[in-house]
Amino acid sequence: MKRKHTPITMLTAYDFPTGRACEAHGVDMTLVGDSLAQVCLGYDATTRLTLDEMVHHCRAVARGSKAPFLVGDMPFGTYQAGVDDAVRNAVRLVREGGVDAVKIEGGVEYVDLVKRLTTVGIPVMGHIGLTPQRQAILSGFRVQGKSAEGAVSLVDSALALEAAGAFAIVLEAIPHAVGAHITRRLHHAATIGIGAGWETDGQALVWDDLVGTWSGHMAKYVRRFGDVRGEVERGVHAYVQAVRDRSFPSPSESYNMPAEAAGRFVG
Ligand code: KIV
Ligand code: NA
């Protein structure tokens, strides 16, 4: 798709129905992102997510999603302690979680890991720019690569990840010019932007941002393509109201008995 300049679509999914929806509506890659921690599990940071929780949700998505290429985030702490440990944890995501590929946050420092994973047969997606697992050391969520030095180090990381065998790289929250430059410099790895401008090989969004179920902070790059939250609010209110005023259930929503048997129960 990169070679043909066909824009690649990636969308996150966290369970069976969202996985099914990604498949049914033509998404190219489904990502079980560790944004799972916040948008589905109510944690305050992605760093809280465990590997067991990730595996559990990957399995559910995998059951609902056969066609799109399925990528699972390696949770914080599952790939930092060494290559062997990371390989064991990635194998769990593939074998138990059912994902096709794993995503790790970081660049040059993970070259050895990317090589090992691809060597053993696990495709790797990189993730550079704003890397939420490092929000504490980055002093929060902010645009990366705005300075010339910052941009150069992102380019170096992207080139190193590609050389190590990464098939794609997420570029999160970086200036458009940097996203476009990295995309032109990479010949094998596809760039998937989220807040990286319009010239990357593909785009990614978080399910809850796209469909409008998330009520928390919304980054500059998020576009709401739906209003599920409004629909949920309308539906739940209407249900509560209908129960209270006894308009639900109606006779047509209730079961009847045969007339002769019903007779005994009248009054
Ligand atoms: O966890 C996630 O949802 C992600 C995407 C934003 C790329 O990593
Ligand atoms: Na993530």
Instruction: Indicate the pLDDT class of residue 194, thresholds 50, 70 and 90.
Output: very high
Pair of tokens at residue 148? 């010339």
Ligand nearest the Cα of residue 133 is 2
Is 2 a domain residue? no
143-158 pLDDT tens trace: 999 999 999 999 999 9
**CB neighbours of residue 263 within 10 Å:** 10
197-240 pLDDT tens trace: 999 999 999 999 999 998 777 889 999 999 999 999 999 999 99
The conformation of residue 255, written as its DSSP 8-state character, comes to P
User: Domain check: are 52 and 164 in the same one?
Assistant: yes
Instruction: Assign residue 127 the CATH number of its domain.
Output: 3.20.20.60
User: Domain check: are 12 and 45 in the same one?
Assistant: yes
pLDDT of 97 reads: 98
Is 1 a domain residue? no
User: Domain check: are 110 and 155 in the same one?
Assistant: yes
Is 107 a domain residue? yes
Instruction: Classify the C-alpha dihedral 190-196-48-153 as positive or negative.
Output: positive
User: Domain check: are 158 and 189 in the same one?
Assistant: yes
User: Domain check: are 180 and 54 in the same one?
Assistant: yes
User: Domain check: are 221 and 132 in the same one?
Assistant: yes
Q: Pick the residue whose CA is nearest to atom 3 on ligand 1.
A: 33
Is 135 a domain residue? yes
User: Domain check: are 16 and 109 in the same one?
Assistant: yes
State the helix-helix crossing angle for 83-95 and 111-120, rounded to 10 degrees.
40
Q: Whole domain around residue 243: which residue ranges?
A: 230-263
User: Domain check: are 193 and 242 in the same one?
Assistant: no
Q: How far apart are alpha carbons 170 and 132 in whole angstroms? A: 12
Ligand 1 atom nearest the C-alpha of 46 is 1
Q: How far apart are the first and last CA of the chain?
A: 70
Q: Between the CA of residue 127 and those of 23, 99, 105, 168, 241, what are the distances in Å? A: 23, 17, 5, 9, 47
Ligand 1 atom nearest the C-alpha of 105 is 8
Active site residue 172: yes
35-50 pLDDT tens trace: 999 999 999 999 999 9
Structural domains of the chain, count: 2
SS3 per-residue string spanning 194-251? ECCCCCCCEEEECHHHHHCCCCCCCCCCCCCCCCHHHHHHHHHHHHHHHHHCCCCCCH
Q: Is the CB of 194 under 6 A from ligand 1?
A: yes
User: Domain check: are 150 and 250 in the same one?
Assistant: no
- The catalytic residue among 23, 105, 162, 172 is 172
Ligand 1 atom nearest the C-alpha of 205 is 6
The conformation of residue 106, written as its DSSP 8-state character, comes to B
Is 81 a domain residue? yes
Q: Stretch 114-133: mean pLDDT, rounded? A: 97
Q: How far apart are alpha carbons 67 and 25 in whole angstroms? A: 11
Is 3 a domain residue? no
User: Domain check: are 87 and 149 in the same one?
Assistant: yes
CA 13 to ligand 1 centroid distance, Å: 10
Residue 266 has pLDDT above 70, yes or no: no
CA 234 to ligand 1 centroid distance, Å: 29
- Mean pLDDT (the chain, rounded): 95
- What is the longest distance spanned by two Cα atoms in the chain? 86
Q: Is the CB of 144 under 6 A from ligand 1?
A: no
User: Domain check: are 172 and 60 in the same one?
Assistant: yes
Pair of tokens at residue 195? 């807040």
User: Domain check: are 166 and 137 in the same one?
Assistant: yes
ipTM: 0.99
